Amino acid sequence: MQTNRISDQLPGSSSVEQEIHLRDYIRVLQKRKMTVFTFLAITFFTVVIVTFSSTPLYTATSQVLIEKNIGAGGLAGTRTYNYWDPDFLTTQFEIIRSDNVARRVVEKLQLDTRYKQYFLEDLDEESTSPFASFMQTIHGFLAGLFGSSDDAVEEEGTGGDDLMATVVPLTNAEIIASMIRANLSVEPIANTKTVYIFYTNKYPAMAKLVVDEVVQAYMDEMLEIKHSTSNYTLQWMTTKAAEERKKLEKSELALQRYMREHDLVTVENKLAVFPQKLAEFSRQLSAAQAEQKEYEALYAKIKSTGENYENIETIPVFSDNKVLQNLRDKVYTAEQKVKELSKKYGYKHPVMIQAKSEQNLLLKEQRFEINRIVESTKNAYDLAKSREKNLKKLLAESKTGMLDINERFMQYTIMKREVDLNRAIYDSLTSSIKTANVTEQSQDVKIWVIEKAELPMYPSSPRKRRNLALGLILGLFGGVGLAFFIEYLDNTVKNEEELERHFQLTVLGSVEEIKGKGETIESYLVNNPLSPLTESYRLIRSGLLLSSPDHPPRTLLVTSMAPKEGKTATTANLARILAQSEKTVLIIDCDMRRPRMHSLFSQPNLYGLSNYLTGDRQQTLVRTIPDEQISLIPAGSIPPNPAELLNSSAMQQLLEQMLETYDFVLLDSPPVQSVTDSLTLSRLVDGTVLVVRSGKTTYDTLDNGMKKMREVNAHLLGFVLNGYNKTSGDSGYYGYYDYYSKDA
């Protein structure tokens, strides 16, 4: 099962993560089941009504082969190409659904006269329907309302009457043709060249009759397109060929005259020679320039070495010379011989003198050969420069001759090109005319009926089973989607887990919403002491008694964020539950703006807390509730300044005095969002209990109110979730509802 992670960043706390399990989605569906069922029912019954009230329609089908007629001309030697045309079938479909084909069907079958009633009766019914009458009334009203502006337009001379006079109403044939087009469809068969042609009508025989005639009308339309195009093409090509023949004759005569006047009979041969010469000279010049550059570089290298024969011999032309290689070997041998003889004889010994002479002679021969190669290289370099110069001169002379020939041949080429162009156009037109005459009766598109339409025995629409199944599926999924969407938009408190996770504050308990007729939350505990609702208040009492580590809080402030969230009833029922544990409990109605606690216990409100705090202390302040171990201090007369009275020292003294007599003192206060009375009282009590209405109190309201409570450092004991619906809530805490309901 896939789960998501949700992080709620709480003020003053770390990020809390929780997995959304499948049971969370199921709980949402259980809570919003009426939304799902309502949407499902509306959708399904709408589909049922539309399906069973729709007129049955019958569809006739014909299967047709449509392909290009390759080689339609049938001419010997004519080469045809079978190429893929992605728009071919789409074009044919549009022709089948065209207005021309539809009008051919109407004319051939006489649908506008003989079978008029099968098509136009629907229009008569629509024109007499209440909706059509209503639209005509609206149109007449608008025409009368804006009639003055129309008159003004006519007065300006726009010719409105003349313009409307040109609008011709549609004939019956045109109306029926448009109806046929609306109900006609074409569908290709995959991986084939065949298509299905469908036509739908409420009369089976008419559907078959029309679809068969559509195929025939399509064939006739294609033939007419072919004939019209061929006739126009032949007429145009014949006229154009005559014009091109005259142009060809005129251009040929002009070319012949120019050649005779400028003696251009042998020009073409000369033009063939000059380009060859230019190419050869250019090639030789490039080779000569490359050779000259090589010798120039080699000679520059030799000159840079000067008289250093050892460096000269490192140049490739010297090092690769066979003569120098032999001389180097002999010089080396002579040097070795001198070294060996020097070990035996002195420098003046005849043997040494002879060896030295032989060595010097070899060195002279080596230098002579080097000088010879240097001189040879210089001569080659000079020869290369001379050859390059000669080739440049020959190339320039050839270019001059070529330019002279080109000047005379330029006009000849222009005139020759015009002759060739005119001849090509004339030959093409002549050939096309012959081909068109032969292929005039052929068809470019091959159309063949593979399967004729049969009389449909069953209606094609409405498809009742499919519609009902789709209605159920769409209604179910739409209802589920709507339920989750409403749940997403719902920002109210729903259950304990969300409330505790969002604020990191304990939920003391939840109070189930009373659904019985005539029952009220204020009297339910008295009349049903063993009910699950009573047990939920006992759990809240246990939570309050265990909320402080040292001793249970004795003074409790019960408040809410907004009116009508159940704080007064919660205060009264909580007092009853605390009194059942043999504790003395006092309720002080601190809501001096809209007091209600006195009416809940059927007590007078002529004298109470407001009178006592203003200094009127002549009467008995505390009233004992008959048959209940609870005492009450009503709110008293509504004062003009409740907040100032509750913030007085007299209020604090009263609480201290009451704690000497009672075990618990419960304060019922106004909502936090409305006034500041609750914020003032929260500083005087041991703890504050916040009543939250399930499905009504929003998190935005709670965030704002909790911020105010924290600003005054109120001691928050926890929440009481009021009006809880156990069918849509968590099942963990509230399994006891079923258990206690059986006992009750």
Q: Check residue 309 and give its pLDDT.
A: 64
Q: Check residue 124 and give its pLDDT.
A: 56
Higher pLDDT, 374 or 193: 193
Q: Strands 555-560 and 664-668: what pairing? A: parallel
Whole-angstrom distance, CA of residue 706 vs CA of residue 716: 9
In three-state secondary structure terms, 679 is helix
Q: Check residue 165 and give its pLDDT.
A: 53
Q: Is residue 229 part of a domain?
A: no
What rounded mean pLDDT belongs to the chain? 78
Per-residue pLDDT tens over the stretch 482-533: 988 888 888 888 888 888 888 888 888 888 877 766 667 767 776 677 777 8
| pLDDT at 187 > cutoff 50 | yes
Q: Is residue 314 part of a domain?
A: no
Buried b or exposed e, range 338-359, using 16+ CB within 10 angstroms: eeebeeeeeeeeeebeebbebb
Q: Check residue 11 and give its pLDDT.
A: 39
Whole-angstrom distance, CA of residue 351 vs CA of residue 341: 8
Q: Residue with structure tokens 């098509």? A: 119
Q: Check residue 8 and give its pLDDT.
A: 42
| pLDDT at 542 > cutoff 60 | yes
Q: Check residue 430 and give its pLDDT.
A: 79
Whole-angstrom distance, CA of residue 651 vs CA of residue 126: 80
Dihedral, CA of residue 475, residue 477, residue 480 and residue 484, to nearest 10: -130
Number of domains observed in the structure of the chain? 2
Confidence bin at 274 (pLDDT 50/70/90): low
425 alpha carbon, distance to own chain's centre: 54
At which of 472, 489, 506 does a domain end? Answer: 489
| Rounded mean pLDDT, 283-306 | 73
Whole-angstrom distance, CA of residue 632 vs CA of residue 647: 20
Buried b or exposed e, range 412-428, using 16+ CB within 10 angstroms: beebbebbeebbebbee
Q: Strands 445-451 and 623-624: what pairing? A: unpaired
Per-residue pLDDT tens over the stretch 67-101: 887 654 444 444 445 556 778 888 999 999 999 99
Per-residue pLDDT tens over the stretch 341-388: 777 777 777 877 787 787 778 777 777 777 777 777 777 777 877 777
| Rounded mean pLDDT, 677-696 | 90
Q: Residue with structure tokens 């001849």? A: 423
Q: Are residues 510 and 659 in the same domain?
A: yes
Q: Is residue 668 part of a domain?
A: yes
H/E segment holding residue 587: strand 585-589
Q: Are residues 484 and 601 in the same domain?
A: no
Q: 59-73, 116-130, 533-547, 639-653 — which one is most confidently predicted on average?
A: 639-653
Confidence bin at 153 (pLDDT 50/70/90): very low
Start-to-end C-alpha separation, the chain? 40
Q: Check residue 689 and give its pLDDT.
A: 93
| Rounded mean pLDDT, 205-227 | 89
Q: Are residues 479 and 582 in the same domain?
A: no
Whole-angstrom distance, CA of residue 670 vs CA of residue 662: 23
Closest CA to 187 of 89, 56, 59: 89
Whole-angstrom distance, CA of residue 239 vs CA of residue 234: 9
Q: 27-31, 127-131, 204-208, 225-229 — which one is most confidently predicted on average?
A: 204-208
Q: Check residue 209 and give its pLDDT.
A: 92
Whole-angstrom distance, CA of residue 157 vs CA of residue 151: 10
Q: Check residue 185 and give its pLDDT.
A: 92
Confidence bin at 55 (pLDDT 50/70/90): confident
Confidence bin at 655 (pLDDT 50/70/90): very high
Q: Is residue 659 part of a domain?
A: yes
Residues 6+ away with beta carbon under 8 Å from 148: none
In three-state secondary structure terms, 477 is helix
Whole-angstrom distance, CA of residue 160 vs CA of residue 516: 73
Q: Check residue 72 and give its pLDDT.
A: 47
Residues 6+ away with beta carbon under 8 Å from 174: 103
At which of 489, 505, 531 does a domain end? Answer: 489
Whole-angstrom distance, CA of residue 700 vs CA of residue 12: 17
**Hey, what are 488's tokens?**
């997403």
**Hey, what are 261's tokens?**
């006047």
Higher pLDDT, 657 or 307: 657
Confidence bin at 738 (pLDDT 50/70/90): very low
Q: Is residue 272 part of a domain?
A: no
Q: Check residue 476 and give its pLDDT.
A: 92
**Exposed / middle / buried, residue 144 (Cβ in 10 Å: 0-12, 13-18, 19+):** exposed
Over 199-261, what HEC string results? EEECCHHHHHHHHHHHHHHHHHHHHHHHHHHHHHHHHHHHHHHHHHHHHHHHHHHHHHHHHHH
Q: Are 65 and 450 in contact (CB under 8 A)?
A: yes
Q: Check residue 311 and give its pLDDT.
A: 66
DSSP state of 698: B
Q: Are residues 485 and 557 in the same domain?
A: no
**Minimum mean pLDDT range among 25-29, 177-181, 671-675, 728-732:** 728-732
Q: Are residues 478 and 508 in the same domain?
A: no
One-letter amino acid identity for 503?
F
Q: Check residue 586 and give its pLDDT.
A: 94
| Rounded mean pLDDT, 105-134 | 73
Q: Are residues 505 and 654 in the same domain?
A: yes
Per-residue pLDDT tens over the stretch 430-445: 777 776 665 555 557 8
Higher pLDDT, 704 or 403: 704
Q: Strands 15-20 and 585-589: what pairing? A: unpaired
Per-residue pLDDT tens over the stretch 299-352: 776 776 766 666 676 677 666 677 777 777 777 787 787 778 777 777 777 877
Whole-angstrom distance, CA of residue 212 vs CA of residue 215: 5
**Minimum mean pLDDT range among 156-165, 204-213, 536-545:** 156-165
CATH of the domain at 730: 3.40.50.300
Q: Check residue 404 and give its pLDDT.
A: 67
Q: Residue with structure tokens 């045109």? A: 174
Q: Are residues 484 and 546 in the same domain?
A: no
Q: Is residue 658 part of a domain?
A: yes
Whole-angstrom distance, CA of residue 528 vs CA of residue 409: 126
Q: Are residues 628 and 671 in the same domain?
A: yes
602 phi-psi bin (left φ>0, alpha ψ -120 to 50, beta other): left
Whole-angstrom distance, CA of residue 222 vs CA of residue 577: 95
**Minimum mean pLDDT range among 20-29, 279-288, 297-306:** 297-306
| pLDDT at 634 > cutoff 90 | yes
- Say how many C-beta atoms besides its own lie within 10 A of residue 535's C-beta: 20
| Rounded mean pLDDT, 280-291 | 76
Whole-angstrom distance, CA of residue 694 vs CA of residue 684: 28
**Minimum mean pLDDT range among 393-402, 415-424, 693-702:** 393-402
Higher pLDDT, 73 or 481: 481
Q: Are residues 477 and 606 in the same domain?
A: no
What are the φ/ψ torsions at residue 723 (nearest 5 degrees)?
65, 35
Whole-angstrom distance, CA of residue 451 vs CA of residue 365: 109
Higher pLDDT, 193 or 531: 193
Q: 112-121, 186-195, 265-274 — which one is most confidently predicted on average?
A: 186-195
The Cα angle at residue 326 between residues 372 and 310, in degrees rounded to 5 = 60
Q: Which stretches of 105-193 are assigned E, i.e. beta strand?
A: 184-188
Higher pLDDT, 610 or 14: 610
Q: Are residues 475 and 607 in the same domain?
A: no
Whole-angstrom distance, CA of residue 194 vs CA of residue 447: 10
Q: Are residues 470 and 550 in the same domain?
A: no
Half-sphere exposure of 385 (CA within 13 A, CB side): 9
| pLDDT at 742 > cutoff 60 | no
Checking 483-489 for CB contacts under 8 A at 24+ apart, the result is 483/28, 483/29, 483/32, 483/33, 483/35, 483/36, 484/25, 484/28, 484/32, 486/32, 486/35, 487/28, 487/31, 487/32
Q: 302-311, 442-451, 582-591 — which one is most confidently predicted on average?
A: 582-591
Q: Is residue 574 part of a domain?
A: yes
At which of 428, 454, 489 does a domain end? Answer: 489
Domain that holds residue 643: 496-514+541-736
Q: Residue 447 forms beta bridges with which residues?
A: 66
Q: Strands 555-560 and 687-693: what pairing? A: parallel
Name the maximum alpha-carbon separation found in the chain: 166
Q: Are residues 482 and 501 in the same domain?
A: no
Q: Is residue 708 part of a domain?
A: yes
Measured CA distances, 407 to 207, 256, 264, 412 (Å): 78, 18, 12, 9
Higher pLDDT, 246 or 164: 246
| Rounded mean pLDDT, 155-176 | 66
Confidence bin at 6 (pLDDT 50/70/90): very low
Peptide bond into 275 cis (omega under 30): no
Closest CA to 48 of 461, 459, 482, 465: 465
Q: Check residue 1 and give its pLDDT.
A: 36
> For the whole model, what pTM was predicted?
0.50
